[in-house]
């Protein structure tokens, strides 16, 4: 049992191979309800170009385009298995040059300054080895007044404790710790939304 939990937790952090691929399919399904709830907190109609960091199986990339057909969406993920799965999920949109997916770690992402109107991070920030550095880079590639949205399962103290036991996390922060960090980095209009499931939080802020 412990071995299974270890394999699942390693694959949530860094999906790899057949098991990783299976977990990505499960995440595309299992994360979708809360992801759509979080996306509903953002006005997509005034956005043109979006970056989804840690795009996993790529479901949120297609969610964005389904909600605003004019968007151009970039996805990055440090796992090759995730990138392959995201490419498969969004094949037609990639062929139409509306979606671009690449294998990049947030801490070394290679985009020009002030490129994106919206940057999202669904269930990924707690795997980053340096959240502060990650947020600084998010700020660099975000347009002035661009929005940054974080969704995390494990928003409450109880959920956090449960998650950090089963998932191989680097940094689990509580909502107020995220808020303080974002403030320190001069993000403004910070809004925190708590899902009725009592474990999912969505934090939206503006550059």
Ligand X SMILES: C[S@@+](CC[C@H](N)C(=O)[O-])C[C@H]1O[C@@H](n2cnc3c(N)ncnc32)[C@H](O)[C@@H]1O
Q: Tell me how far the alpha carbon of residue 58 is from its chain's centroid.
A: 10
Task: Say whether residue 146 binds ligand X (CB under 6 A).
Answer: no
Q: Is 154 in the site for ligand X (CB under 6 A)?
A: no
Tally of CB atoms within 10 A around 144: 7
**Among the listed residues 21, 79, 200, 205, the single contact to ligand X using CB under 6 A:** 79
CB of 75 to ligand X, least distance (A): 9
Six token digits for residue 6 = 């270890």
Query: Shortest distance, CB of residue 79 to ligand X, whole angstroms?
Result: 3
Cα–Cα dist 47/108, whole Å: 24
Instruction: Concatenate the DSSP letters of all residues of 144-206 into one string.
Output: EEEEEEEEEE--SHHHHHHHHHHS--S----HHHHHHHHHHTT-EEEEEEE-TTSSEEEEEEE
Q: Which of 63, 82, 89, 200 binds ligand X (CB under 6 A)?
A: 82
Q: Determine which residue in the list 78, 101, 150, 175 makes contact with ligand X, applying CB under 6 A.
A: 78
Q: β-pairing, 142-153 with 116-122?
A: parallel
Between 144 and 169, CB nearer to ligand X: 169
DSSP state of 104: -
Please identify, using beta-carbon distances, which residue of 81 and 205 lies nearer to ligand X. 81
Between 36 and 107, name the residue whose CB sits nearer to ligand X. Answer: 107
Query: If 0-12 CB within 10 Å is exposed, 13-18 middle and 19+ buried, where does residue 92 land?
Result: exposed
CB of 16 to ligand X, least distance (A): 9
Contact 135, 181 (CB under 8 A): yes
127 binds ligand X (CB under 6 A): yes
54 binds ligand X (CB under 6 A): yes
From the list 65-73, 78-86, 180-188, 198-206, the region that binds ligand X by CB under 6 A is: 78-86
Residues that bind ligand X (CB under 6 A): 12-15, 27, 31, 53-57, 76-79, 82, 105-107, 122-124, 127-128
């Amino acid at each position: 049992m412990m071995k299974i939990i270890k394999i699942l937790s390693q694959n949530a952090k860094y999906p790899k191979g057949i098991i990783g691929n299976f977990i990505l399919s499960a995440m595309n399904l299992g994360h979708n309800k809360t992801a759509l709830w979080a996306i509903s907190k953002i006005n997509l109609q005034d956005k043109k170009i979006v970056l989804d960091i840690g795009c996993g199986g790529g479901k949120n990339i297609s969610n964005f385009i389904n909600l605003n057909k004019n968007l151009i969406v970039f996805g990055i993920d440090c796992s090759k298995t995730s990138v392959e799965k995201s490419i498969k999920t969004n094949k037609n949109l990639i062929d139409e040059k509306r979606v671009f997916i690449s294998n990049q770690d947030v801490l070394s992402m290679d985009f020009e300054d002030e490129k994106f109107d919206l940057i999202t991070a669904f269930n990924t920030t707690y795997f980053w080895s340096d959240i502060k550095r990650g947020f600084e880079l998010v700020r660099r590639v975000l347009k002035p007044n661009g929005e940054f949205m974080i969704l995390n399962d494990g928003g409450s103290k109880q959920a956090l404790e449960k998650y950090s036991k089963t998932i191989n996390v680097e940094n689990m922060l509580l909502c107020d710790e995220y808020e303080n960090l974002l403030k320190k980095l001069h993000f403004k209009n910070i809004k925190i939304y708590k899902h009725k499931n009592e474990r999912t939080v969505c934090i939206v802020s503006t550059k």
